[in-house]
Structure 1
Amino acid sequence: MDDVIIYCFDESEYLMVCNASNRLKLLAHFAAVKGDMNFKLEDQTESTAMIALQGPKAMEIVGALSREIPTLKRYRFVQKSLIVVKLIVSRTGYTGEDGVEVILGSSMARAAMGMFLKDVKSGQSPIRPIGLAARDTLRMEAGMPLYGHEIDENTDPLSAGLGFAVKVDKGSDDEKIGRFIGQTALEKIAKDGCARKLVGLGLEGRRSARQGMEVRQGSKVVGRVTSGCLSPTFDRPIAMAFVDANLIEVGTNLEVDLRGTAVGAVVEPLPFLRAVAKVSI
């Protein structure tokens, strides 16, 4: 359905951050499957905003404002107040770099961005605004799956390399815990093995692969590209693709069909690049 992050405030209060484009679909899904569960769901999408500060200097910058935030472990959060503004600050992000994501009221987002970027024009600030294209190259270098590319409603998390987030045997030793939607199907995949798996590809030349392009071995189609770009860090084309499970070994030679031109590609380990910062989890 989506790739989300769940914030747990206490045993009875949770916050789910989803992709904005999936919001209405998810609301309809929750309404359809809630059964006799009694809970209150509040859609805060339009009343909140998120600002992400990412990069090797992010925690140094944040540390000038708070001594507590730099001590957070990955995927942990804290609630803070800045004058009259309430913030949720988490050590998360979708770049592969260290950093934080800040959730605040949408009415204060412009002022918060102004605070972050106030010294940019003077050249005295290490902070620079970036768009989705830059974010996308960063998450590809970090080998991070993105909904609509590496994951969707027809892709299982085990094939996408997200098995760490799935407890396939949930409830097997305690019926009170219960099972989750799709668990039976995932149990079968875990037992039988994935037909295709997500891998990294390094391409020859300078042209980037695009989503949907065929991956071949000889004349046989053995997979499809999910994401691709010209990596700014490595100055060469990289891509992620689902390929037949017997072809995932690093160093396997394949080809990508770039609109009628076969270009050599080699299976590479994911992530392509690991952030320098070492952060406890």
Structure 2
Amino acid sequence: MSDTVEETGEPPLGTLPLDAWHRAQGARMVPFAGYEMPIQYEGIVAEHEWTRNSASLFDVSHMGQLALKGEGAAHELEKLLPGAISNLKPGKMRYSMLLTEAGGIIDDLMVTNTGPHIALVVNGACKWDDIAHLREHLPDDITLTHFDDFALLALQGPKAGEVLEELIPGTGALTFMTAALFEHEGGHIWVSRAGYTGEDGFEIAVHESQVEALADALVADERVRPAGLGARDSLRLEAGLPLYGHDLTINTDPVSADLAFALSKKRRKEGGYFGHQAVAARLADLEAGTLAQRRIGLTVEGRMPAREGAEVYAGDTKVGTVTSGGFSPTLGMPIAMAYVDAAHTAEGTALEIEVRKKRLSAKVTSMPFVPHRYYRGS
């Protein structure tokens, strides 16, 4: 047993297939989701703005890449997710969540029908628990594969489409939430037109033996620069996208989290998945105006950001808690997401956030804070 394990009780951090590549590019590495991950290269704001205007390469290989195969795999997965999976056509993707029987969110994830199998991309910090949950609740004749020898790169930004099309012809024909298999340099890569920045872009699953060559080829293009976790977080916050472990936890439900769009109309009515009764009760609360809290967006006056854990007030009454917050480079002001008592969630509602024993004026704002620019076709 290593000294690290003995002293902390935690296993040593994992390394990404591109660990040496990141360090050679000048990355500052930090612990995240059990791995050493690049948080920035030239700077978070510079990487954020480059992504908004050109294309950035993010390494998200800490995510879990899983596959389900076997007769009725989609139908069996539907018993664990609130979304419609069995009607997902080959090459199509869908956002969904693993839920507990009490409606709590175990993880949020992306589901893709690849044709031969159902693919899942799950959060890095949750992947081992997700795998255990799936193995426990799926029938034995459904094969679950963890592609732990595959890396995952995200090319994000308005120039991502033209960059990738020049390198891998055919990828430009993909539209948001579609995916396909491509040949590249004698191997196969799986490309999805999706991401976590609010910008157009792709996620590229590639074998670890090929990932460095692909990363080199991408950053050789003057339109592409590497970017780290810092810019990824500020971009996803501007896009109003929740982060598991912060805005989503096992103690939050899809309705309170403002993710009801992921609950298909048919499944809301018919149920048949873990947590249906609890989720149906929250939907009824929403319709009746009796939902306890909702995830909302807040813009904050001044320059001081409100971080996770900051308390939200209406007058002298605490009405909520910030779950994500920071300074928006695009808007030039602090923004935040919070769970707030439903009576105070109407757009334009004036609230206050306590930061360093000071009250900051804030206003409920619709999300995304910065409009999404996904490519849905010409």
TM-score (norm 1): 0.90
For 1:5, the equivalent position in structure 2 comes to 110
For 1:272, the equivalent position in structure 2 comes to 369
Matched, 1:182 2:284: no
Q: Label 1:168 to 1:196 Cα distance change in 2 as closer, same or farther (>3 A).
A: farther
Secondary structure of the residue aligned to 1:89 is: strand
Secondary structure of the residue aligned to 1:114 is: helix
Q: Which of 212, 215, 226 is the aligned partner of 2:309? A: 212
| Shift of residue 276, structure 1, vs aligned partner | 4.6
> Which deviates the most, 226-235 or 66-75?
66-75
Matched, 1:26 2:123: no
Give the number of aligned pairs. Answer: 269
Matched, 1:157 2:254: yes
Query: What is the 5 A alignment of 1:91-170?
Result: 91-119=193-221, 125-167=222-264, 169-170=266-267
Query: What is the 5 A alignment of 1:35-54?
Result: 36-44=139-147, 46-54=148-156
**CA deviation profile, 1:237-260 (whole Å, cap 9, x unmatched):** 011111111211111110001131
Question: What CA distance in whole angstroms lies between the structure 1 residues aligned with 2:179 and 2:275?
Answer: 29
Secondary structure of the residue aligned to 1:60 is: helix
- 8 Å CA contact 1:168–1:186 kept in 2: the answer is no
Secondary structure of the residue aligned to 2:250 is: coil
Root mean square deviation, CA, Å = 1.8
Q: Label 1:278 to 1:9 Cα distance change in 2 as closer, same or farther (>3 A).
A: closer
For 1:70, the equivalent position in structure 2 comes to 172
Amino acid at match of 1:147: Y
- 8 Å CA contact 1:171–1:179 kept in 2: the answer is no
Question: What CA distance in whole angstroms lies between the structure 1 residues aligned with 2:338 and 2:186?
Answer: 46
> Which deviates the most, 93-102 or 187-196?
187-196
Secondary structure of the residue aligned to 1:49 is: strand
Identity percentage of aligned residues:
37
Q: Label 1:171 to 1:212 Cα distance change in 2 as closer, same or farther (>3 A).
A: closer
Secondary structure of the residue aligned to 2:294 is: strand
> Which deviates the most, 228-237 or 188-197?
188-197
> Which deviates the most, 83-92 or 58-67?
58-67
Q: Label 1:229 to 1:73 Cα distance change in 2 as closer, same or farther (>3 A).
A: same
Q: For structure 2, list consecutive stretches of 5 or more residues without a partner in the other structure.
A: 1-105
**CA deviation profile, 1:108-155 (whole Å, cap 9, x unmatched):** 111111111125xxxxx0211110110111011111111111111111
Query: Which of 1 and 2 has higher RCO (CA within 8 Å, sep 6+)?
Result: 2
**CA deviation profile, 1:161-183 (whole Å, cap 9, x unmatched):** 2111113652856xxxx700001
- 8 Å CA contact 2:198–2:374 kept in 1: the answer is no
Amino acid at match of 1:42: T
Q: Label 1:172 to 1:268 Cα distance change in 2 as closer, same or farther (>3 A).
A: closer
Q: Label 1:183 to 1:231 Cα distance change in 2 as closer, same or farther (>3 A).
A: same
**CA deviation profile, 1:158-204 (whole Å, cap 9, x unmatched):** 1112111113652856xxxx700001100011112221111111111
Q: Label 1:276 to 1:18 Cα distance change in 2 as closer, same or farther (>3 A).
A: closer
Secondary structure of the residue aligned to 1:92 is: coil
Amino acid at match of 1:16: L
- 8 Å CA contact 2:240–2:369 kept in 1: the answer is yes
Question: What CA distance in whole angstroms lies between the structure 2 residues aligned with 1:181 and 1:239?
Answer: 31
Q: For structure 1, list consecutive stretches of 5 or more residues without a partner in the other structure.
A: 120-124
Question: What CA distance in whole angstroms lies between the structure 2 residues aligned with 1:267 and 1:91?
Answer: 31
Matched, 1:224 2:321: yes
Question: What CA distance in whole angstroms lies between the structure 2 residues aligned with 1:54 and 1:29?
Answer: 31
| Shift of residue 66, structure 1, vs aligned partner | 4.2
- 8 Å CA contact 2:135–2:144 kept in 1: the answer is no
Question: What CA distance in whole angstroms lies between the structure 2 residues aligned with 1:104 and 1:277?
Answer: 23
TM-score (norm 2): 0.68
